[in-house]
Structure 1
């Protein structure tokens, strides 16, 4: 390993693993500086080692959030050209940071008729790759190296906490929760996995719709999402997630983003209902990007998003019908087809 190579590997490697923090009697938080560094770093380094990233290969990807930031950080250290395709919801502070790291950011101004901005971004990405023959796309939604990269996180959790009974975390691409749960179940098959989504995300049966809460949920079904890994699913609204993010900050001093707040709301409820279980919750990124939004009382009030987090979820019997409050469904490690079919009264093998 050359000196330059070791430098950029160690720079991102030092931020890779989460801090493990006790949040309650039986609840622990895995607090990441930037969780998406785990797959971004793993995928790019593996691509370079395998030859998929040649000397002049440009990295291209679609993103509106932290995976793009993670790629920009890693690409800067590897001296790689990077083009990111995003949309108008990308926040200005993130956009500035991506550009400062050397990334080229292309904005899709209009959503696709089907699949919204995510499909529009994918279409633009396809055109870029057709125009530029020497490119590499990490493809976070379908690349199996995304969930596989979280083996290192599972090993860290086991070595720090020992045997775990329940893993809670937000779901977007499916990589972090599916990869971590799968690795933990190699030695602890009874581990419960609880996914946190948001209403009007298609991931667990809802029809696609407008969503205020970003960083979890999806308008398209990612190939890396294995529904059979999940024991139960919770849907949290933006207002509930924002309130829980502020509660997490006030009660533990952890300064995290709203996906962490949503996961904390669910994990705290579940851990208190199961006091003999050892529970860990994935807290994906820090709160610096949200100081002018989630952490601003005036911003919340102006949008009708202020308030206290609820104490418990509403149980739903049909996961295809979005609720306007925090809701919960016993998924039972079934495929999407099995669950949707059961909700419709159909028998699906």
Structure 2
């Protein structure tokens, strides 16, 4: 029996969709990270019961942090993205979190920059505040060791494919890291939206994309580029197709990055049916009801395979892929300025 709801819902349901295609379906994936991080910070006496934990979030992390703070009876303060809807805000408020937005910034890049700037200003003015730095502190990696162990125990093969959103780099990057430490040969496909700076796509716009969560408009220190074997960029429309297909085909109600990951994983499974392929569905689909599930927008053309690229100027919608080959971040300069070895 669990003593707090966060412990009960942090683990995913691992579901077999068809031969060698699996989904790790979370209610909220980042609970792994926040529970571990808050506990360790308390044990190390970096924070105490009088601390106020603060961070910027587009939704999933805010909910996870509020749950962890509720469990450990610590106050938290969220600087919320404009993508945080009223449903999440109401839950955060009831969990005791202080939720604060910013004035409309015009773009998601400015939205992220202004939120981080606001966090920095707040912690300067009050010594009780502790900045969690989900985008920059490596401690957030450690929470996913338990998830990696769960996958290691459930998937007997030592050779597998893992697909999921890059985001802050902790969920997919950390999971692959610990799986590899456990002896698994993991080929990691990281999902990015067009417009994200993390892997050099800031110059390609997708007018429909909700970048929050799987991409970034500012630099994230926690993204270790050397964790990723391939990077796939998907358009909003293609992620939407995947999200709706995931519900229709498998009755799984999940978010936009889940749909994009499913789209990629399903194609990979068709190409390599004898190798286990696991994709991550990090949250439920509630905040996408209006823009995804109830939208009457006409579907886009669905390619069966991505456009294979070797440089940034080749990027184009709706689906591009590069073989990243676990290169360091410095590889970005080469990607942006000249062609790399073709896949």
How far residue 315 of structure 1 moved from its aligned partner, in angstroms, is 1.5
Cα distance per residue 1:258-287 (max 9 Å; x no partner): 110011111111111112211111110111
Looking at structure 2, the residues matched to 60 and 237 of structure 1 have their Cα atoms a distance apart, in angstroms, of 32
Match of 2:32 in 1: 38
How far residue 95 of structure 1 moved from its aligned partner, in angstroms, is 1.8
Looking at structure 2, the residues matched to 161 and 114 of structure 1 have their Cα atoms a distance apart, in angstroms, of 38
Match of 2:311 in 1: 318
Among 292, 295, 298, which residue is 1:294 paired with? 292
Looking at structure 1, the residues matched to 109 and 11 of structure 2 have their Cα atoms a distance apart, in angstroms, of 33
Q: Are 1:20 and 2:52 matched, yes or no? A: no
Give the SS at the match of 2:185: coil
TM-score (normalised: structure 2): 0.91
Looking at structure 2, the residues matched to 198 and 280 of structure 1 have their Cα atoms a distance apart, in angstroms, of 20
Q: Are 1:181 and 2:179 matched, yes or no? A: no
Among 35, 41, 49, which residue is 1:47 paired with? 41
How far residue 15 of structure 1 moved from its aligned partner, in angstroms, is 1.0
Deviates more, 1:131-140 or 1:331-340: 331-340
Match of 2:231 in 1: 233
Looking at structure 2, the residues matched to 312 and 346 of structure 1 have their Cα atoms a distance apart, in angstroms, of 21
Looking at structure 2, the residues matched to 114 and 252 of structure 1 have their Cα atoms a distance apart, in angstroms, of 32
Change (3 A) 1:31 1:87: closer
Among 312, 331, 334, which residue is 1:338 paired with? 331
Among 162, 167, 170, which residue is 1:172 paired with? 167
Looking at structure 2, the residues matched to 49 and 320 of structure 1 have their Cα atoms a distance apart, in angstroms, of 48
TM-score (normalised: structure 1): 0.90
Confirm or deny: 8 A CA contact 2:49 2:73 kept in the other structure.
no
Q: Structure 2: where are the runs of 5+ without partners?
A: none
Cα distance per residue 1:282-340 (max 9 Å; x no partner): 110111222233111xx342xx6x44643221212213554121111111111232253
Deviates more, 1:103-112 or 1:226-235: 103-112
Cα distance per residue 1:114-150 (max 9 Å; x no partner): 9411110011001110111111222111111211211
Match of 1:217 in 2: 215
Match of 1:3 in 2: none
Give the SS at the match of 2:120: helix
Q: Are 1:94 and 2:88 matched, yes or no? A: yes
Looking at structure 2, the residues matched to 30 and 271 of structure 1 have their Cα atoms a distance apart, in angstroms, of 15
Looking at structure 1, the residues matched to 302 and 284 of structure 2 have their Cα atoms a distance apart, in angstroms, of 20
Change (3 A) 1:342 1:34: closer
Cα distance per residue 1:63-86 (max 9 Å; x no partner): 121000111122122222111112
Among 316, 320, 325, which residue is 1:327 paired with? 320
Looking at structure 2, the residues matched to 217 and 177 of structure 1 have their Cα atoms a distance apart, in angstroms, of 13
Cα-Cα RMSD: 2.2
Deviates more, 1:70-79 or 1:105-114: 105-114
Change (3 A) 1:320 1:41: farther
Change (3 A) 1:308 1:103: farther
**How many pairs does the alignment contain?**
335
